[in-house]
Amino acid sequence: MATGVADAPENERYEIRVDGEVAGFAEYILTDGLITFTHTEIDPGREGRGLGGALVRGALDDVRGRGLDVLPLCPFVKGWIQRHPDYADLVYGVSGG
């Protein structure tokens, strides 16, 4: 199972692909210096395989590289960050954003 996470700015979301097919996405709103994650969804037929976590990790790694702050309105993204405190510095207001 080959997976990859990529930004799809034309759809305002990060996508995770499995063997070339979109298996899930994390929607966002991008403003100057801030990305707000609003909704995350994994194809129901692919749930329970860790794709949601891989999607969020890939998206946040990209966001870190772009120097953006994160506003996690999506409960899945918010919970994931709470379980992975090494990403907490990205959250708006925590790092001085």
pLDDT for residue 96 is more than 80: no
Look at residues 40, 24, 96 and name the one whose alpha carbon lies nearest to residue 67. 96
For residue 47, CA distances in Å to 1, 27, 42, 44, 68 come to 14, 18, 6, 5, 28
Pairwise CA distance, residues 82 & 54, whole Å: 15
Helix locations, 6-92, DSSP H: 51-66, 75-83
Band of pLDDT at residue 84, cut at 50, 70 and 90? very high
pLDDT score for 93: 87
Band of pLDDT at residue 94, cut at 50, 70 and 90? confident
Q: Taking the mean position of all CA atoms in its chain, how far away is CA 54?
A: 9
CATH 1.10.275.10 fits 3-90, yes or no: no
pLDDT for residue 91 is more than 70: yes
